[in-house]
Amino acid sequence: MKTLIIAEKPDMGRNIAAAIDPKAKNHRTYIEGEHYIITWAIGHLIGLAEPDAYDDRYKRWNIGDLPIIPDVFKLVPNRKTMDQLKVIKELAKRCDSLVNGCDAGREGQYIFSLIQRHLKLRQPVKRLWISDLTPETIRRGFAELRDGSEYENLTKAATARSEADWLIGMNGSRAFTTKHNVLLSVGRVQTPVLALIYDRQKTIETFDSLKFYEVEAKFLQEDTAYRGLWQGERMTDPKKAEAIAAKVKGKAGSIASYEVKDVKEYPFKLYDLTLLQREANGKFGFSAKKTLDTAQALYEKHKVITYPRTNSNYVTEQNIPEMHKTLSSLHGTSYDDWAKGANKSLVHKGNKFVCNPAKVEDHHAILPTHRKASGLSPDEAKLYDLIVRRFLSQFYPAAEYKSHTVLTEVEKETFKTTVKELLSLGWKVLYADQKKDKPKGAKKDKEDESEDEEEVLEPFSVNPALGVKCTDAVMKEKETQPPKPYTEGTLLKAMESAGKQIEDEEVRDAMKDSGLGTPATRAATIERLKNVGYVTMQGKRIAITQKGRTAIELIRAAGVELLTSPEMTGMWERRLNEIARGGASDAAFMENVKKFATMIVDKVRQQARADIKAFEGDEKPGKGRGQRSSRSGASGRTSRTNSASPDASPGKAARSTAVKERAEAPGDGTIADCPRPGCGGRLFMGRKGYGCSHYRSGCSFVIWKESFGRSLTDAQVRAIAEKGKTAKLKLNMADGAEIQGRIVLRNPVTGELAVEADR
């Protein structure tokens, strides 16, 4: 018999087939060779069942039925991909062994595990664990297949993560929604991230700015001119500052001290996913999701970078030869000059800034592969360029400076001067064409540094034995500044360290195991906050909506503020990582989650109902329909959010209060009867979806406007509601494929949609 290889996506399956059996025959849904049959999932083929799968009474939302805590979680196939699941089932009957070829990470492990459990596959399993999709790496991975049992702890962690998210999301969302008669989404990761945004906004709003004053003096010693800042306690009296400026201006002074030291600045660390997302957001305005999707395309479609969903900034000893090979492959490309100027000997196993196996778990840092890039889209090219430059910088020496610190004394007043004199650009030559866009990753953000440091290209020196003259002195008015609103980049940084404002890289590295979510899920969490109407984007800034504010205030007022605690949720993530390593019990973790879900429900029962006006506020009619809402519902993912998604909202529709009130009178602005059996409500258009006028009674039916790459019209939604399908349309699937087909109503209870492809 043969071995069945199950990849995570079609492209990955085809790459595997091309590497290990290029003569294998393509059968569209699988590829068969002499020894192997290669097939694939299409993301998640299986999911956790909705509550009504356990009891019909859960179809109606009622706080009296909570908490919902299954003894054993039921699995259900995704109807959109049922055919592919049947293919896997039939192929497995012809094979006596399996290879898990899904993504080498927690989610990939979970996808395979769900298929294995649902189909009751009993064959022995081997695990393919690779970090890029080049043929050489795939073949080496098959030569080094490991026993599937070695990853049992990772499976336990993945399962615990999913079931914990279900328990918190389902119970929390239903409890708060039914109590307050407004669709409120609650989630294990989503809610503390929203709390970070809320707390930052409150700090900004309550910030009391304070004026203070500095004195800047200009000095001249022979031909050397420099400036210095007055040293002393912060001055809040402008008269004092003016008096000091007048006192020293035009007067002679002396050098009280002069210190010179050599400084080296080494290249910034290689990228992990979060750092890449942060920099792409700062430089290009990419959302975290866009960066992840683009990086995934570079990995899976073009095969020009290694596995992107990593939390490591380092490589292992085994990666060093591959890095050298990649460097050689960059000769003759647009990076030829830099590749020729690189020094291979600088990247070796003894260089702990690059090679640190202790800080590599599942995957090493993101690297370019030795495959030459071609056919990249403009956005793919931008991201690839970031990765290549960061990679090449490791083969360049440190940038070298002389740091000059001068204390100048005039009329018993002391002024400090710090001059950073460039001696050698080193690795910074790679960024010489991006002077305004310095790469991130340093221990301090540049914007937080004092203005008293000046970087110069020409030689600088003073003579302590000679006098100086203060040629000018001026008072400068300053003002203390509140923290800046979060951007996606700075929010990712906060999520990585569970909200702790940690500048020290080593400490921040230690916090990675207890961050909010994982590198692979943080982008989806931010998108979810947009989709449920808790935040909006104002340029690059993330702004919390009135609904988002009220949600956090209600949760905290209920006495379940732990649900909003980044540190607590970060500790949960750390525990999941410990489970994956075999250092903690998944059963004990789940018991604690069940107790917490029960506590949430108990606390919410005792809470007074919020006034509906508490959810009204800052959003103008139509706001959010443009670039934000149209992009937030990614094509092909809309119907999936109607399933038991961990952080998804109960009905999933972010309805504005004005639309809710309008929908109270059936026929006013409604377009069709609600398809949910026995409901009797009418569908109306909300800000991002078409919901039911009986939502207050627990009807969670909703059809998202943005579905499968289409912005649905009233007529199309009416056709779905009344006929069960649209006319033939051009649609975009989750894997990026464009097809001709019809959008069909898969689930009349929830509004979940699917695609009926045109044969």
Is 419 within 8 Å of 404 (Cβ atoms)? yes
Q: Is 164 helix (H, G, I), strand (E, B) or coil?
A: helix
Helix 273-284 to helix 488-496 angle (10° resolution) is: 160
SS (H, E, C) 263-306: EEECCCCCECHHHHHHHHHHHHCCCHHHHHHHHHHHHHCCCCEC
CA 155, 158, 163, 166: dihedral to nearest 10 degrees? Answer: -150
Rounded distance, CA 396 to CA 388, Å? 13
Cα separation, 202 vs 205, in Å, equals 5
Give the number of other Cβ atoms within 10 Å of residue 696's Cβ.
16
Residues with a catalytic annotation lie at 307
DSSP state for residue 420 in the 8-state scheme: E
Long-range contacts of range 720-725, CB-CB < 8 Å, 24 or more positions apart? 720/744, 720/745, 720/753, 721/671, 721/672, 721/673, 721/674, 721/675, 721/683, 721/745, 722/672, 722/673, 725/756
Maximum CA extent, the chain: 95
Q: Which of 536, 391, 415 is CA-nearest to residue 474? A: 415
Spatial contact of 330 and 337, defined as CB atoms under 8 Å apart? no
Share in percent of the chain as helix, strand, coil (round to 5): 40, 20, 40
Sign of CA dihedral 18, 20, 25, 29: negative
Q: What are the two backbone dihedrals, phi and then psi, of residue 215, each rounded to the nearest 5 degrees?
A: -120, 120
CB–CB of 215/238 below 8 Å? no
User: Which run of H or E residues covers position 327?
Assistant: helix 319-329
- Contact between 721 and 701 under an 8 Å Cβ cutoff? The reply is no
Classify residue 689 as exposed, middle or buried by CB count within 10 Å of its CB (0-12, 13-18, 19+).
Answer: buried
Q: Specify the length of the chain in residues.
A: 759
Q: d(Cα 299, Cα 344) in Å, to the nearest integer?
A: 24
If phi > 0 it is left, if psi is from -120 to 50 it is alpha, else beta; for residue 332 that is: left
With beta carbons less than 8 A apart as the criterion, state whether 755 and 733 touch: yes
Q: Which residue has the tokens 């615990």?
A: 160
C-alpha to C-alpha distance for 114 and 370, rounded to whole angstroms: 34
Residue that the structure tokens 């980049």 belong to = 489
Chain centre to alpha carbon of residue 61: 31
Using the structure block, give the residue that is written with the tokens 């979510």: 517
